[in-house]
Amino acid sequence: MNGNLVQQISFTWDPLLPDLLWVPSALVAMAILALSLRASVGLPAWKRGLLVGLRALAFALLAVILAGPSTLRTEGREVRDPYVVLIDGSRSMAVEDQEGTRSGAVARWLARHEGSFRTLAEEYDLRFFVAGDELAPLALDQAIPRDALSGSIPTNGQGTDLGAALFGLSDALGGTRPASVLLVSDGADRAALGRAFSDSGAEGVEQLSAGLKFPVSTWMVGDEDGPRDLAITNLTVPPFGFVRRPLSLQLEVTSRGLPQRTHVATLRSNGEVVATTELHFDEDGRSAVDFEVKPDEMGFHTYDVSIPTPEGDAIPANNQAEVTVKVIRDRTRILQVTSRPSWDVKFLRRLLKTDPNIDLVSFFILRNSERGGQLARMGNLSLIAFPYEELFTQDLEGFDLVIFQNFWFGSFTHYPDTEFVRNIRDYVSRGGAFLMIGGDNSFGEANYGSSPLAEVMPTQIPDAASITQPFRAVLSEAGQRHPVTRLVREGDRNLGRWEDLPLLHGWNPLGAPQEGGVVLATAGAGGPPIAAVRTAGKGRTMAFATDTTWRWAMAGTEGPGAGQDHALFWRNAIRWLIKDAEEKQVQLVLDRENYQLGDPMQVMVRVLREDYSPWANAQVVGRVALLGGGDATPIEGVTDADGQLTVLLPSTAQGTVVVEVDVPDVPAPFGHAEARASISDRQGEFLDARVRPGLLKALSEATGGKVLGGRDPDPRLAATGGGNSVLAVDRKVESLWNRWWLLVVLVLPLGAEWATRRRMGLP
């Protein structure tokens, strides 16, 4: 604390009467004056005036004495009022639109006015603050922020919140209210002040700044016409997408001050180009386009949009954006077609119909075109048209799985079905799933081995007749591990379960596995393959070369699991074919998939036992790291009684983050879970870095500050008041009512009134 000891004397009031008595006393005085007027009726006017006037004067003097005139003697130290230079430290100040960056312009201004600041420092307690993510003082050297002069004003604030900075000044000054504030900013405020100005103009700013009890002068830096910028202002996706359903990504781009009128936006997924589109801008420099994608698999999909940086673009950083979408499965859509209904068809359809998550479209050929008995020829048939042209062309993509169950195109049409078969092959290559089940209209019996479909099937399909003998399905080595053939989790028990299955009857011969094809089961140990799977292109296929698994449904035995193997096997097969995720024992859930930089990420881990009951006190370890490297943040803890562990993590860097957790108590690979999210700054500074002079002007006018114009204003113009205040150390009040001369003054009009009455002969 500096300043000399000083004494100040000021006048004040120290009332002798309680507040409640003032009004009654005034009424009494007025009543007395009224009676005096009445008693003096008949006297000449000047006499009446003199008498009543003297009495009124006496009452007035009495009132003054009762009000307690006093002196206030204050002793204290003289201090200089704070003069604050508040510099915007947000990232928009790094925009180059004014012979370099905006913060560079501030540094040059500080240097040019070093003398002015020295002068101000003599009159005021001169302080410099930078408003970044927090309000930070600039270190001073002989009243001047030397580092700032060298151009090192920090511009790392993720956002501009001028209101928060201004309201935080008093605290930053140790509780002292600044006398003057000079705000140096581009006005690109996206927080409360900016929103108030956008919504309600100057009136909104005035309302919001009403609590500021000091004048805020402003000087705007930045070019009113700039910056020249091409910016992705928005990239939005639905909260989640569905596998193989269209997913729309809406892109909004603005272009300011750039001569180039068209640009190309590229959408990538996992580094691969998914789509490109040309952007055309309207008169306001806005462009909006939709990208449509169809995610192939469940899980987290990150999409990245980028636009090449045009020449003159001041902010290249906002030409790229990414979002992450969680893709889940809608109701599974299955097309089941058969040329010849059979028990196997019936039992598979019955199974699919009982699953509430399946939309099943079945078409059965009930009457072959070549045949028809007497009754059928007589009509009255309750048949429906088989819309095969639509199903195998335009509708095909809508199904998650197509099942040919003993199905042959030739059984109902002479239409050149090559096109349809080729469509199914292409559908699989694009991510669809296809299952062929055996029968006398299937596999080699229908010449599928020489059709385009053979290209995606798991095995070769020989042109061979069906075998009709009974057999036992025996798991291959791969089949003992594969999820399709896993009726129970434990390998030994699973093998035993398969050995106990009822015999099957008859099969279609399959050839050697094709590239990527995996044989899961054979007809007897070491026999020909009867079940095989393959990932073909982006899709999956399965060949199951018999049509008597209905026997597994009619096991004829009571007890847990009896008759369930048919359902277990086909559900496994369908889930694998459509790439459905197994119900996991370790589940990892983020509160959302897209975070604004700085937002906390809520990570919830749920651990279930084998019977899917909550696993309390399970140890969880994991990490969060940016995709492609960077420091990892560890996750560690134990689950609560509900089998859950929730942690909050900071989002400190832009990009795709990968969250991984492991639960050692759960055997691999079931003890691992992974999730992804995108962290971006699209709502931050670079979304719209235009200067906002109107906002700064409104702030100055609302607080009684000044608007400093030009490129080089003198900071002394923002100084208000004398610059000094007394910081009180002692205060003393001395009453004046008990002074003798005051009593004399009071007695004089009363005495004069008495003497006048006597001379006039009045009582």
Partner 1 sequence: MTRQSQFSRRGVLQALAAATGTGTLGWSGDLLALGDRKVGVARLDLPDLPDPRPGALTDLLREVSHNSSISAEVRPALVDPGSEALFEHPFVVLSGDRGFEPLGDQALANLRLYVREGGLLFVDDATGLERSAFDDSVRRELSRLLPGTPLRRIGRDHAIYRSFFLMRGVAGRMVVQPYLEGLWLGDITPVLYSRNDLLGAVWRSSSGGYALEVVPGGERQRLQARRMAINLVLFAVTGNYKRDVVHVKTLLKRMRRQGGYGE
At closest approach, how far in Å is the CB of 449 from partner 1? 10
Q: How far is the CB of 444 from partner 1 (least distance, A)?
A: 7
- Please report how close the Cβ of residue 579 comes to partner 1 at its closest, in angstroms: 15
User: Least separation, in Å, of the C-beta of 390 and partner 1?
Assistant: 8
Sequence-ordered list of residues with C-beta below 8 angstroms from that of 271, at least 6 positions apart, any chain: none
For residues 556 and 669, which CB has a smaller minimum distance to partner 1 in the complex? 556
Instruction: Name the token pair of 21.
Output: 């008595």
* Least Cβ distance, residue 554 to partner 1 (angstroms): 4
In sequence order, which residues have a C-beta less than 8 Å from that of residue 58 and are 6 or more positions away? 746, 749, 750, 753
List the end-to-end C-alpha distance of the chain, in Å, as a whole number. 69
For partner 1, the closer CB: 444 or 684: 444
Kindly tell me which of 417 and 455 has the beta carbon lying closer to partner 1.
Answer: 417
CA distance 691 to 46: 74
* Pair of tokens at residue 285: 């420099």
Q: Which is nearer to partner 1, 252 or 417 (CB)?
A: 417
Nearer to partner 1, 411 or 683 (CB): 411
Q: Using CA atoms, how far apart are residues 117 and 123, in angstroms rounded to an integer?
A: 10
CB of 545 to partner 1, least distance (A): 12
Tokens of 456: 């995606």
Closest approach of partner 1 to the CB of residue 537, in Å:
16
Q: How far is the CB of 503 from partner 1 (least distance, A)?
A: 9
Give least dist CB 447 to partner 1, A. Answer: 4
Pick the closer one to partner 1 by CB: 355 or 417.
417
Element (H, E) at 703: helix 693-703
Region of residue 100 (left: phi > 0; alpha: psi -120 to 50; beta: else): left
> Quick one: 155 or 339, whose CB is closer to partner 1?
339
Query: Please, what is the angle between helix 343-353 and helix 565-577, to 10°?
Result: 70
User: Residue 346 CB, nearest distance to partner 1 (Å)?
Assistant: 5
Q: Looking at residue 363, what DSSP letter applies?
A: E
Which residue's structure tokens are 């370099």? 100
Q: Of 38 and 414, which CB lies nearer to partner 1 in the complex structure?
A: 414
Structure tokens at 127: 């302080």
We find the least distance from the C-beta atom of residue 564 to partner 1, in angstroms, to be 10
Q: Which is nearer to partner 1, 473 or 607 (CB)?
A: 473
- Residue whose tokens read 């080089």: 712
Shortest separation between residue 507's beta carbon and partner 1, angstroms: 9
CB closer to partner 1 out of 51 and 345: 345
Give a three-class secondary structure readout of 581-614: CCCCCEEEEECCCEEECCCEEEEEEEEECCCCCE
Return the number of the residue (236 or 393) whose C-beta is nearest partner 1: 393
Chain centre distance of CA 39: 86
Query: Closest CB to partner 1 among 333 and 706?
Result: 333
Contacts 24+ apart (CB under 8 A), 645-650: 645/604, 645/605, 645/607, 645/620, 646/602, 646/603, 646/604, 646/605, 647/602, 647/603, 647/605, 648/600, 648/601, 648/602, 648/603, 649/600, 649/601, 649/603, 649/624, 650/598, 650/600, 650/601
CB closer to partner 1, 161 vs 547? 547
**DSSP line for 467-519:** EEEEE-EEE-TTTTT-GGG-SSSSHHHHHHHHHTSPPEEEE----SB-TT-EE
Helix runs in 41-167, H state only: 45-66, 102-112, 114-123, 146-149, 162-167
C-alpha of 447 from chain center: 55
